[in-house]
Structure 1
Amino acid sequence: MIKVAVVGTGNISPSHIRAYQALRDRCTIVALCDLNPAKAEALQQELGLDEATVYASHPEVIARGDIDLVSVCTPPSTHEAISIDFLEAGVNVLCEKPMAPSLAACDAILAAEGRGGAIFSSVAQNRYRDDVVRLKSAIDSGLAGAVSHVAVDSAWWRGLPYYDLWWRGTWEQEGGGCTLNHAVHHVDLLLWLLGAPESVTAVLTNAAHENAEIEDLSVAVLAYQRALATITSSVVHHGEQQRIVVQGREASVSLDGEVVAEVTQSNGFPLPGGNTGLVAQLTDLAAGLDPLPHTGHQGQIDDVLTALETGRRPAIDGHDGRRTIELITAIYQAGIERRTVDLPLTADDPYYQPGTLTERAPRFFAKTASVRDQSGPISVSGATAPANQEDNR
């Protein structure tokens, strides 16, 4: 039985806890940790974690000496130190997004993984979605042809009070705005679907949140050898209509399942009706895939548990998390310096180091409030969820 600790009992922790509870025949949660123990105790009671002991600091959890796996669900600025402490103690780590605020911090985590002999997995739970798997299968099949363009809309909406929470809305504590903390999942998916680009250009702004330093809207253009991708990162989009649309030479496929395949006439204009046969092939391919046995956080946690049980690497590891941070860092660098940034970023690049982004980033507005906790229902894409069930975006 794998013994699990959860460090940080904020918004995202119930997603981890419920996933572990759904796999209770393989693991058990024995420790909850939060700087505010009363908060952890309330969650313990709410979710029926009778076997878990509450701690006020993560070194106390490490001192138990019997933890096999820890979920790190704390604010982004703390991920590096907490992950390294557990890894060096030989404890396996599943760390919420973003992996860390800088590439240097990501590499420090990977180095600690190597020293401690434990494994590190960076949360990217959206890879465990049936619609995402169908989209990747369509691209990998080659039926749509060589990719020419990918449009990614990470479209969210947040009101002014969202940035009143103490760690949100500042470059130092949150590490960035919507590009880092909301679009991180879409960036990971783009890299999974298409690989890394050769260069990036970007524009950043704060369009609607006068109580936050950071950007609430960015648009990035990624250049591949013969393709472009665009990423819109936003917390100003009403309706939160998120999408990924892949344009191939022969057909386009979308995350929502739409398939379009044009056929040329002799003059180069599209033939009405398009390639119905290819549309049918791609539609049948998607329909023929078996549903995932576990989705979202439960899907990734199932994989991490299997990795521990079998001695293999997890499907999503720290190198995946680092690649996502590298691309997001390049987007910030391009937007701040108003120039094209080539990838990969090297260790002598100023933005590789911690502190450079915080030092050079624009302060669009001053943060005007700082509350320790927020109450009230949490809603995602128009659907209201019970409190504390949303991602920690």
Structure 2
Amino acid sequence: MTMADIKTPVGVALVGAGMIAKTHVSALSSARGKIRLEAIVSRHPDRAQPLAEFYSGDAPTFTSDLDAIAANPNIHIAIVATPPSVRLEIIEGLAKAGKHILLEKPVARTVAEAEEIVELCERAGVALGVVFQHRKRAPSIAAARLVASDTLGKLGLVEIAVPLWRDQSYYDELGRGTYTRDGGGVMITNAIHSIDLALSLTGPLTRIQAMTATTSLHRMEAEDFAVAGLEFACGAVGSFVASTAMYPHRTEVIRLHFDRASLRIDKNALEVDWRDGRHEVCAQRGAGHVVTPLSGGTHEWHQAVIEDFVHAVQTGGRPMVTGREALISQRVIEAIEISSSTGRSVDLPAVP
């Protein structure tokens, strides 16, 4: 199926009916006219049917038959929102059938597995995008524009803070926080969003010195705490700290300190403190906007990612975050794990 063959509305299948599925269905509902939700794939289709309540168009088909999805000519894109442990086989079949893949983060459990997924999509000639919806927040977009404007001077210091809380019930879900299902803990499941957003603004890392741990506040296999010192290719240094054991739950914050100003970026606003004393608040959200810890945010951010991916597929363009670009964040997480286990700093390869 060539790019030119795909017209509006674009047929989409959602593969996976877990926690994030409601957000995707709501996003696809808001994008009706451009996109049509054809099917929802679940191991238990009957249990997934309540998701139809969040879609205002014709009800999608509920199925467990991936072969039928692959053979359906009305489905052009598959949004894969399953646990990382089962993705490789799913994506391989869909990609070989010519379906373009939009993938919930992370790409896979390990860098090696993620590289395999990226390469199989490239061989199949299908687009592979990854849902890093934090880039679509208004403060993130405003920060990207300001950083690109060259008015800030040289970047000197970076702070990445992910101070989250998850109750033990979060990890009591079968397989959550394990290497077999998720590939890790707080870094690959939660903090990867902030890592991706920060690196999209700072450029690549060159060296990491880190420590990870599982606190006494959780019973889980993987880490619920990670801290690292960072060195960037641009010459800046920085810090990274992430945990799901920091009560009460707070928002992720990225701070970038330049020659002429410092930026504070979270989901609600971009704040700029200029060295001449000016303080600016940009892209501020209304006080009535509330995001609960497990909601994943508002569906508008997912909608923006989905619409960007559909446009890329239709035009032959580049998705906001390609599968190959998403490998960068996974390599950073792997480097933090290696540094923690060895007690040594880890050098990262140059990023093209």
Q: Distance in 2 between matches of 1:46 and 1:26?
A: 17
Q: Distance in 1 between matches of 2:59 and 2:274?
A: 55
Shift in Å at residue 99 of structure 1? 0.9
Which of the numbers 262, 272, 278 marks the counterpart of 1:259? 272
Gaps of 5+ in 1: 263-274, 288-293, 347-393
Which is richer in strand?
2
User: Matched residue of 2:200: which SS?
Assistant: helix
Q: Partner letter of residue 254 of structure 2?
A: I
**Which residue does 1:227 correspond to in 2?**
236
Shift in Å at residue 166 of structure 1? 0.6
In the alignment, is the contact (CA less than 8 A) between 2:130 and 2:326 conserved in 1? yes
**Which residue does 2:187 correspond to in 1?**
179
Which deviates further from its counterpart, 106-115 or 178-187?
A: 106-115
In the alignment, is the contact (CA less than 8 A) between 2:98 and 2:125 conserved in 1? yes
**Which residue does 1:246 correspond to in 2?**
256
Q: Distance in 2 between matches of 1:321 and 1:39?
A: 32
For 1:204-215, what aligned pairs fall within 5 Å after superposition?
204-215=212-223
Residue 63 of structure 1 pairs with residue 68 of structure 2: no
Q: Distance in 1 between matches of 2:216 and 2:305?
A: 34
Shift in Å at residue 21 of structure 1? 1.3
Shift in Å at residue 48 of structure 1? 5.1
Q: Distance in 2 between matches of 1:215 and 1:137?
A: 34
Residue 95 of structure 1 pairs with residue 91 of structure 2: no
Residue 194 of structure 1 pairs with residue 199 of structure 2: no
**Which residue does 2:289 correspond to in 1?**
none
Which deviates further from its counterpart, 183-192 or 239-248?
A: 239-248
Residue 121 of structure 1 pairs with residue 143 of structure 2: no
Q: Distance in 2 between matches of 1:250 and 1:345?
A: 28
Give the direction of change, closer, same or farther, for the CA distance of 1:219–1:57 in structure 2 (3 Å limit).
farther
Q: Distance in 1 between matches of 2:34 and 2:55?
A: 18
In the alignment, is the contact (CA less than 8 A) between 1:200 and 1:334 conserved in 2? yes
Report which of the two structures shows the higher radius of gyration computed on alpha carbons.
1
Shift in Å at residue 129 of structure 1? 0.8
Q: Partner letter of residue 128 of structure 1?
A: K
Give the direction of change, closer, same or farther, for the CA distance of 1:176–1:57 in structure 2 (3 Å limit).
farther
Shift in Å at residue 169 of structure 1? 2.3
Q: Distance in 2 between matches of 1:85 and 1:333?
A: 32
Aligned residues: 324
In the alignment, is the contact (CA less than 8 A) between 1:121 and 1:316 conserved in 2? yes
Give the direction of change, closer, same or farther, for the CA distance of 1:122–1:332 in structure 2 (3 Å limit).
same
Shift in Å at residue 87 of structure 1? 1.1
Shift in Å at residue 150 of structure 1? 0.9
Q: Partner letter of residue 67 of structure 1?
A: I
**Which residue does 1:299 correspond to in 2?**
304
User: Matched residue of 1:174: which SS?
Assistant: coil
In the alignment, is the contact (CA less than 8 A) between 1:4 and 1:30 conserved in 2? yes
User: Matched residue of 1:198: which SS?
Assistant: strand
Q: Distance in 1 between matches of 2:27 and 2:171?
A: 28
Q: Partner letter of residue 272 of structure 2?
A: V
In the alignment, is the contact (CA less than 8 A) between 1:122 and 1:317 conserved in 2? yes
User: Matched residue of 2:257: which SS?
Assistant: strand
Q: Distance in 2 between matches of 1:111 and 1:169?
A: 27
Shift in Å at residue 32 of structure 1? 0.8
Shift in Å at residue 298 of structure 1? 0.9
| TM-score with structure 2 setting the length | 0.86
Q: Distance in 2 between matches of 1:295 and 1:56?
A: 28
**Which residue does 2:327 correspond to in 1?**
322
Q: Distance in 1 between matches of 2:15 and 2:220?
A: 27
Q: Distance in 1 between matches of 2:218 and 2:36?
A: 44
Shift in Å at residue 63 of structure 1? 3.2
Shift in Å at residue 196 of structure 1? 1.2
Gaps of 5+ in 2: 1-8, 284-298
Q: Distance in 2 between matches of 1:45 and 1:128?
A: 26
1:127-175 Cα shifts (integer Å, max 9, x gaps): 1111011122222222221111111111210111111101202111121
Shift in Å at residue 303 of structure 1? 0.7
Q: Partner letter of residue 252 of structure 2?
A: Q
**Which residue does 1:356 correspond to in 2?**
none
Quote the RMSD (CA, aligned, Å): 2.2
Give the direction of change, closer, same or farther, for the CA distance of 1:42–1:261 in structure 2 (3 Å limit).
closer
